Structure 1
Amino acid sequence: MTDQPEGTRPSHEAVEHKPGTVVDLNDYRRSLDPLPVTFHRRELDAILWIYGRMVGEGEWRDYAIDHLRDKAVFSVFKRSGEFPLYRIEKNPKLAAKQGAFSVVGSDGRILKRGHDLRQVLKVFDRKLKLLD
């Protein structure tokens, strides 16, 4: 047990190695690395619903999910091995400001950002029309 607040790393000077001290390995690992940001089940359901629709239309073919320390990313690919067409990101640090959810295009532009994931995913409801 430590006097450190949860989610912070102890400095090397603050950690004392006393012989004979028993340390719980799970507590030690949690103190070193905070848990990554993940998508909740309802968020993932909404994303996978859009993904399934776009796969059915032949637009998307593959995806990847990354859980990082500061954000969770759902990447969508036309073909595996290419750069992602879109990235659906959840960044909790931006929740109070611009919204935790965003859709990022392949060029890095943020296409839509907001607090509600379903509203942000409406960016995929737009139909692109060919202009003559």
Structure 2
Amino acid sequence: MTDQPDLSPGEAVSQGSSVVDLREYRNRRDPLPVTFHRKELDSILRIYGRMVGEGEWRDYAIDHSHEKAVFSIFKRSGEMPLFRVEKNPKLASRQGAYSVMNTHGMILKRGHDLAQVLKVFDKALKLIKS
């Protein structure tokens, strides 16, 4: 037993300090990284699988930071990525959280809906004359 009174969370202690919820403190100090949700990753991997089957892509990498999540697509693993699919929640209210960039950092497509943004990888159908 101590001489200190029982305190509810957030109530001040007599020495001027306060009780802080540990989960709340950790979230403020070190926020969770931005990640792709299962449905987002499924739609990206569906296109990736199709392009691997066509022999155009061979490797990928996924990066998660506190600001954005990036799915990088490579022709060979030792090179710069051919494309990057990025999710940046800070841009969600402006241009859209999702974007596709090429090797040089040029934005090929950006938007609020990942499925619409990923249509940049759809190949145009060509009419073949016989």
Compute the TM-score of the two structures, normalised by the length of structure 1: 0.76
d(CA) in 2 for partners of 1:96 and 1:29?
27
d(CA) in 2 for partners of 1:24 and 1:63?
39
Please point out which of 60, 65, 68 is paired with 1:68: 65
Please point out which of 83, 101, 104 is paired with 1:104: 101
d(CA) in 1 for partners of 2:83 and 2:75?
10
1:14 — aligned with what? none
d(CA) in 1 for partners of 2:56 and 2:88?
26
1:31, distance to aligned residue in structure 2 (A): 2.8
1:88 — aligned with what? 85
1:2, distance to aligned residue in structure 2 (A): 6.4
1:77 — aligned with what? 74
Please point out which of 41, 46, 49 is paired with 2:43: 46
d(CA) in 1 for partners of 2:10 and 2:32?
18
1:99, distance to aligned residue in structure 2 (A): 0.6
* 1:1-60 deviations in Å (ceiling 9; x for gaps): 669xxxxxxxxxxxxxx7xx9876555433321011111111000000000000000000
Compute the TM-score of the two structures, normalised by the length of structure 2: 0.77
- Kindly tell me the number of residue pairs found equivalent between the two proteins: 114
Structure 1 residues 123 and 92: alpha-carbon distance in aligned structure 2, compared to 1, 3 A threshold: same
Identity over aligned pairs, percent:
73
Structure 1 residues 2 and 82: alpha-carbon distance in aligned structure 2, compared to 1, 3 A threshold: farther
Give the root-mean-square deviation of aligned CA atoms.
2.5
Tell me the amino acid that sits aligned with residue 77 of structure 1.
F
3-state SS, counterpart of residue 83 of structure 1: coil
1:10 — aligned with what? none
